[in-house]
Amino acid sequence: MSKDLVKSAFLLSCFYQVEAGRRLVLAEAPQLAEFIKGVVIPYVDSRCSAIVDFRCYFSLLGLGEGFTPSGDDFLSGFLATLNTYSRFSVTLPVEEILGRTSWASGMLLYYFHRGFYGEGLSRLLKSLAGEGSLFDALLYMVRLGHTSGIDTSLGVVIAAAMLVEERERDHTLVEVISRINPSLVESG
């Protein structure tokens, strides 16, 4: 699984490079760097209290353009993976979500965090458990929306790498993050 996640991160980085000239690219956003350094890395280092504090997710809510902003899409994938495969469950309060992003995106987040996923996210989550090909599910996801599928997949891949790293202690997370944005590893 570790090697597949690293390959998936490389694939996502290629898709982000294609999008770079057109709009905000989540992989380069300082808010994502703050989230990784303030929530993801401490979780792996066994300082996991930040992961369950819903306020830690606020900087990504509403970040970006479109029907569902990139930050919301990332959180959808990240929290769906976390809530499906970790010992923690994180639910963002609906009033906080709706106060920070569009109504449509807020409602998608609301339902995603309660286990109601679209086909693409459901396939991607199942592939992490060995049900189907991770790469086929990833390629299906990246075609959704303008960047929604890419951003949601990024959330899934980072959360999955975080959980693998917690269990295996094999540097999966650093490898995944360095494929997405090397500066996140170099400066942290």
Q: What is the pLDDT of residues 134-188, one digit of tens each?
A: 999 999 998 888 888 999 999 999 999 999 988 888 888 888 888 877 776 654 4
Task: Give per-residue pLDDT as tens, 76-102.
Answer: 999 999 999 988 888 888 888 888 998
153, 12 contact by CB (below 8 A): yes
For residues 145-177, b (16+ Cβ closer than 10 Å) or e, as one string?
bebbbbbbbbbbbbbbbbbbbbeeeeebbbbbb
Average pLDDT over residues 109-116: 84
Calculate the average pLDDT of the chain: 84
Average pLDDT over residues 117-131: 94
For residues 38 and 76, give the distance between their C-alpha atoms in angstroms, rounded to a whole number.
Answer: 18
| Euclidean distance between the first and the last CA atom of the chain, given in angstroms as a whole number | 25
Which DSSP symbol is given to 62?
A: T
The answer, as to whether pTM is greater than 0.95, is: no
For residues 121 and 156, give the distance between their C-alpha atoms in angstroms, rounded to a whole number.
Answer: 9
User: What is the predicted pLDDT for the residue at 131?
Assistant: 95
For residues 188 and 171, give the distance between their C-alpha atoms in angstroms, rounded to a whole number.
Answer: 14
User: What is the predicted pLDDT for the residue at 137?
Assistant: 93
User: What is the predicted pLDDT for the residue at 188?
Assistant: 45
